[in-house]
Structure 1
Amino acid sequence: MSPLQTAEQLARRTRRACAAALRAATALGLSATRARVLHDAFSVVVQLEPEPVVARIPVVLTGSSDSDAQHSRQQRELDVAGWLADRGVPVVRPAAQVPRRPVRQDGFPITFWELADLAEDHQPYRGADLAYSAELHARLADYPGRLPFLAPFNLGLPELLDQLRPGGLLSAADLDRVWTEFHAMRAVLSTAEAFQAAFPSATVQPIQGDAPSHNVIHARNGILFSDFEDVCMGPVEWDIALLGRDATAQYDAAAVRRGLRATDPDVQQLMDSARRLQFVGCLPLIDELPMLAPGLAQAVQEWRNSPGWSDQTGSW
């Protein structure tokens, strides 16, 4: 793995992303003169002042590093968010001032969004009631476009796992377990058909793909769903993985009220295990985003203390 990025290197990356966003905005006809940073983590998010337009520039990639795959991923996000917005679902809308498609500028993949009117108490990643997730699933269920199956696991995770090496937070035995679990789970999660053969009573549908309860904007007029980068087909259990029994019960009550199925405990157990493995796979990203280190160290320890999924295969 590469050395940790220094504070100056991180700041330089942010400046480069801001400059790329301004150049892309100008090329699209926007009168942007300044990129004001709103958020800087996996993506640099900037308002293109004085326009009411936000650019999101991924700088730490949890998906494929292939530029065509990145384009497809961002296009899916714009398509789904736009489709939801056109039907009155409270989402962060794609910017109306530019075409609904990603652009690439100076090596950065960029998408453009409407500026949200944030509530005074908005905090990034602050969760929302699980009833919102059930409502989102109810609205997503009718999405007609084609989506990959469980994209974060099948399209993003393999490339990250290939970068893992023993040392630091992972021992050689840990790495062996990582691959044993991944291959065991991949046998069930590689396709919708394989999943439904293992869990015939569980349905799949379009899902947000990355904990929708924590990917919301607290706006002055209410909750707005955001960050559909990982939108895909899958069981709803993926979207509430690792949130715990109380959250699952809260989701189930809301889902049943909306005519959706309640979660399946066996599927939830598998999704929790797959999500833990995804966190382990993010270890190489610490080099690019050092702030991840404490949380991922805890995630690795929780994964290490959990039952190995290969030990649970008899329950399929």
Structure 2
Amino acid sequence: MNNLSKRAERAVALATAAGERLGLRAEQPRVLHDVFNVLVHLAPHPVVVRVPSLTLATAGEQAVKQRHELAVTGWLADTGAPVVRPSPLVPREPVECEGRSLTFWEFVTEEPLADGADLAELFVRQAADAAALHRLLAGYPGAGELPVLSPLVPAIGTALARLRTQDGHGLTEAELQRAEREYAVLEVLVRDLTAHFPGAHVQTLHGDSPAYNMLRTTGGPLYSDFEDVTRGPVEWDLTLAGPQAIEVYERAGGRPVDRALLDVMEGARLLQVVGALALVPQMPEMGPMMVPAIDLWRSRAPLTLPRSAP
């Protein structure tokens, strides 16, 4: 518990307090991860509490997303899918604590990567797991309750509006205006994706990048981190994976990938990073890590509606 960041210290306090309300008294709570979320293991219980630490959402808004996440991951777990499941020791519901909404997950033991492991190669291989996950998620019975591409709309709009109120974010006025125009394009696309990409198939998605969100555990690989679960085209889950990973995905039986739609989704992913600049005041050390993606966004042509759009 030494040398924790202030956000991690607060997360431990919130996690232990929420756990005690549910009958889980942590004797040795420990932080497993501290970036966008803080993960707190309520040892000796096999329970991990996810505490949002970098967010623009209210506790109520967080809870709406978390209920979708718990429903989808709970369904996957109940069907026997290899997924980090909601903790069976507490109800499958978010827990509000001092303005944050917390979720409780089963503790798993991760396998350390071998010395010299090539992470890029690993992520390419895991694109096959993303294909398997998409086949599972296509059968999710509650798909109609999920919003379409919610990590984009309204999330990016909220972030850009916050940027408008901040100084020192590193964008010029012209760049901020470009970002706002691109977001307007996304609003149109999300409202009726198939009008612009008639071949697009909308289904339940992981919502982030499943190839980058596999845990290698002592019990085998597990899908994890569904906090951005949504509906949309599989191309959203495959953004920035790279050509090799796309080929692996298709060979593994994933849906054929529409390269034009993938390109639009990759532009949207970079715009999401631009919006995340609004979080830098909460975690200044994140700023330098975002520079390569922001530069890549600057180098791309701005997002526009497809030429075939009516």
Q: Matched residues, percent identical?
A: 40
Between 234-243 and 164-173, the greater mean CA deviation after superposition:
164-173
Q: Structure 2 regions of 5+ residues with no counterpart?
A: none
Instruction: Please state whether the residue corresponding to 1:309 is helix, strand or coil.
Output: coil
Q: Would you say the 8 A contact 1:17–1:108 is kept in 2?
A: no
SS of the counterpart of 2:222?
Answer: strand
Aligned to 1:275: 269
Q: Does 1:290 pair with 2:289?
A: no
Taking structure 2 as the reference length, the TM-score comes to 0.91
For each residue in 1:129-163, what CA deviation from the matched residue of structure 2 results, as whole angstroms up to 9, or x when unmatched? 20000000000001111111001001321110112
> In the alignment, what sits opposite 2:84?
92
Q: Which residue of 2 aligns with 1:4?
A: none
Q: Secondary structure at the match of 2:280?
A: helix
Once the 2 structures are TM-superposed, how far is the Cα of residue 168 of structure 1 from its aligned partner?
A: 4.4
Structure-1 separation of matches of 2:156 and 2:182: 13
Alignment match, 2:74? 82
Match of 1:169, SS state, is coil
Question: Aligned with 2:162: secondary structure?
Answer: coil
SS in structure 2 at match of 1:34: coil
- Work out the CA distance in 1 between the residues paired with 2:223 and 2:308: 35
In structure 2, what is the equivalent of residue 12 of structure 1? 6
Within the alignment, does 1:36 sit opposite 2:34 as a pair?
Answer: no
Kindly tell me the number of residue pairs found equivalent between the two proteins.
298
The residue number in structure 1 matching 2:132 is 135
Residue segments in structure 1 that go unaligned for 5+ positions in a row: 1-7
Indicate yes or no: 2:178 matched with 1:186.
Answer: no
Residue type of the alignment partner of 2:182: E
**Residues 76-124 of structure 1 deviation map (CA, whole Å, 9 limit, x = unaligned):** 1111111001111111011010000010112221111100121122899
* Stretch moving more, 144-153 or 292-301: 292-301
- Give 1:292 deviation, angstroms: 1.8
- Residue number in structure 2 paired with 1:217: 215
Distance, in Å, in 1 between the alignment partners of 2:284 and 2:297 is: 20
Q: 1:111 aligns with which of 103, 106, 128?
A: 103
What's the CA shift for 1:167?
4.7
Could you tell me whether the CA contact under 8 Å between 1:169 and 1:297 is conserved in 2? no
Shift of 1:315: 4.9
Between 238-247 and 163-172, report the one with greater CA deviation.
163-172
Contact kept in structure 2, 1:45 and 1:57, CA below 8 Å: yes
| 1:102 aligns with one of 94, 103, 107 | 94
Partners of 2:212 and 2:285 lie apart in 1 by 18
Distance 2:275 2:194 in 1: 25
When the two chains are superposed, the root-mean-square deviation of aligned CA atoms in Å is: 2.0
Deviates more, 1:27-36 or 1:298-307: 27-36
Report the equivalent of 1:3: none
Q: TM-score, normalised by structure 1?
A: 0.89
